[in-house]
A and B are shown apart, each in its own frame.
Chain A
Amino acid sequence: MKIIAYSAVPESANAPKALQVSNDTELATLVASGALDGVQRVELHFPKFTDGRAYSQALLLRRRYRFAGDIRATGDVLIDQLVHMHRSGFTSAMLAEGVDAAAAERQFARFAAFYQGDVHEPRPLFAREAARDAAREAALEAA
C-alpha cells in the first residue's frame, strides 16, 4: 500500500485519470454508466475516519467490479485504519494533516494472518488451512 503524507508534493500534469467517488454513491449505477471506463484511480473519501462506507465500496470495486487501477483513500485517513483499508482493496492512502507516515508503515507488520478472507486472500483462515493440510497430505502420498 502506498502511503502518502499530507505534505507530499501534488502530482504533476501527467497524473493518472482519477475519479472521485463520494461514499454514498451507488456503485452498481456508477459502473453501469461507464464512468469507470479508462479511469486509472478511484478516490474514495472518508469524511470522518469513523464513517466506514468506503470500505464496502473498495471491496466491491475490487472483488465484484474487477477494478484493477489504484483505489485511494482520501479525507480523514489515520494510521490505525490502514490495515483495514489495505485488506478492503485500497492501494494508496493520502494521510490526513499531521499524521506521521513513518508510524503508518509499522502497522502492517503486526498480524501475520486474519480469520476472514479479504481482497488479497478471499479464502477465510479455515479454507486456507484446509488447503494447506490437503497439499501436505498430497505431498506425503507422492513421496
Chain B
Amino acid sequence: MIRHIRLFWLFLKLSVQDDAAYRAEFWSRLLMTLYWLAGVAAGLWVFFSNTETIAGWTLDQVIVLIGTYHIVSGIVRSVFAPNFQRFVEEVRSGTLDFLLTKPANGQFLASFRRVAVAHLGEAGLGAAVAALGAVRSAGGLRILDVLAYLAALGCGLVILYSFWLVMISLVFWFVRIENITQIFWSLFEAGRYPLDIYPGWLRAVIGYLVPVGVVVTFPASGFVSGLRGPGLLAFASAAAFALFVASRFWRLGVASYTSASS
C-alpha cells in the first residue's frame, strides 16, 4: 500500500514536470472552468428566481452539489480518462505487454500512470465552490458534517473508479469501445442536479448503474439530511465490494489478453 502511494506520488511529480511545458494549457483550462462556473451561477440565478427549492434542495445545498460535481469531474478528467485512453491504445497495438511485465500491480499502473494536471484546476475550483455552499448553509459548518462528506466522497470515488475499471476491462474482449466513455459523459451531465428530479427508472440508471448519483448527490446530501455512521458504513462496504468485483473482472480480462502478435 505504502509502495503504491509512493509510486503514485512519483507519477504525479512526473506528470507535473511533463505538463509544466504546457503552462498556457493549464491557465486556459482554468479560465474555461471559471467561465463555465459563471454560466452555472447564472443558471442558478434563473432557477432560484422562480422557486425556493429544487426537489427539496435549497440554493446552498445545490451549490455544494455543483461543487462536488466539479470535484468529481476534475478527478475523472485528470486521472481516469487519460489513463483509460492510453490503455485502450496499448491493448490495440499490443504494447500493453510492457506494462504487464513491470514489477508492480498491472491494474494500479494502468489506472494511475498519468495525471492530466491541467484538469486538476477544475477539481480545485469545485472544492472551493463546495466549501462556499457549505459555509453559507444555514446552521453553520459542523466539523462532523465535513468529515462525513469527505468520507462519502472518498467511497463514491472508489465506486466510480470500479465502474471505470469494468468499463476499460471490456476492451480486452471488444477492442473498439472508446464510445462508451461518451455515453458516460452524457449520463454524467445529469449529475449536475439533485437526482430526486428524475423519474424513477432514470434515477436508477444514473444513480446506481452508472454511479454518477452515488458519487455526486450522495456526499452532497450529507449537508441536507445529515449523513451519519450506519449510512456511511453501508456506503463504505458497498465501495469495498465494488472494488473487489471490479478487480476480479480486470483479472479475467488480463487472463484473456493475448497481445497483438500472438
Co-complex (A, B): no
Q: Which residues of A contact B (CB under 8 A)?
A: none
Interface residues in chain B, defined as those with a beta carbon under 8 Å from any beta carbon in chain A: none
